[in-house]
């Protein structure tokens, strides 16, 4: 790494010189399964972010969203996440074919707490499970099944600081680039931004499920 900073922390000893060890109530909050508390949180969550790693340890984060409770708790050690129609990149699935490790973070609008889960995952096709996870009569083609190894609730400080659920503190978004603008610029596309936006809008209406 280019030497641009006063110090780069490279050891746990140094890290813990700067940040003390967590208290027992924090370090002991991790469980190895989905209990009733975790299941109730998942049942109310319409949004989860999935973390995976692939070739050369390249990392990826993939957001997943559906009606609240779309992630199914199959048993105390197993979650099922439906794969809906998208852009066919399937970065997470490509990664899981190399490394099965996965991390999840569940969010609920208006709630500051989050739920973090980690474990190992596989990509499955199972008719009964696919039908169970159907929305609007459309079953997912694939399902991400997670074998849970750890789960714990996370404190709300980051949500409080960011005012994520407080519209009065939301930033001015007039200068925020759109996906259409980014695709045209980053992909050097011949299509105009309005043309690309029309494609995205049409896709969003016709290919949710």
Render pLDDT for 108-135 as a digit per residue (tens, 0 to 9): 999 999 999 999 999 999 999 999 999 9
pLDDT value at residue 1: 56
pLDDT value at residue 101: 97
pLDDT value at residue 3: 75
The arrangement of strands across the sheet holding 78-83 comes to 59-65, 47-53, 101-107, 114-124, 142-154, 78-83, 72-75
pLDDT value at residue 2: 63
Render pLDDT for 181-208 as a digit per residue (tens, 0 to 9): 999 999 999 999 999 999 999 999 999 9
Residue 78: φ, ψ to 5°: -140, 130
CB 120 within 8 A of CB 64: no
Is the pTM higher than 0.85? The answer reads: yes
Render pLDDT for 43-98 as a digit per residue (tens, 0 to 9): 999 999 999 999 999 999 999 999 999 999 999 999 999 999 999 999 999 999 99
Q: CA–CA separation, 198 vs 9, rounded Å?
A: 47
CB 82 within 8 A of CB 143: yes
List domains and CATH numbers for the chain.
23-162 (2.30.110.10), 171-206 (no CATH)
pLDDT value at residue 175: 96
Residue 54: exposure state from Cβ atoms within 10 A (0-12, 13-18, ≥19): middle
For residue 29, what pLDDT band results from cuts at 50, 70 and 90? very high
pLDDT value at residue 36: 98
């Amino acid at each position: 790494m280019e030497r641009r900073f006063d110090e780069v922390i490279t050891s746990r000893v140094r890290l813990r010189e700067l940040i003390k060890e967590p208290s027992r109530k924090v370090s002991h909050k991790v469980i190895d399964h989905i209990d009733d508390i975790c299941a109730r949180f998942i049942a109310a969550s319409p949004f989860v972010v999935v973390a995976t790693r692939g070739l050369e340890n390249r990392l990826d984060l993939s957001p997943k969203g559906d009606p609240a409770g779309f992630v199914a708790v199959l048993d105390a050690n197993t979650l099922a996440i439906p794969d809906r129609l998208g852009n066919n990149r399937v970065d997470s699935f490509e990664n899981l074919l190399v490394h099965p490790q996965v991390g999840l973070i569940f969010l609920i609008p208006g709630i500051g707490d989050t739920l973090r889960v980690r474990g190992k995952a596989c990509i499955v096709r199972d008719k009964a499970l696919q039908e169970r996870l159907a929305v609007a009569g459309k079953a997912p083609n694939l399902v991400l099944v997670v074998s849970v190894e750890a789960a714990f609730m996370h404190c709300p400080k980051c949500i409080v600081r960011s005012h994520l659920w407080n519209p009065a503190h939301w930033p001015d978004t007039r200068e925020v680039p759109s996906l259409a603008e980014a695709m045209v610029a980053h992909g050097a596309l011949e299509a105009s931004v309005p043309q690309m936006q029309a494609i995205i809008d049409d896709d969003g209406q016709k290919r949710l499920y």
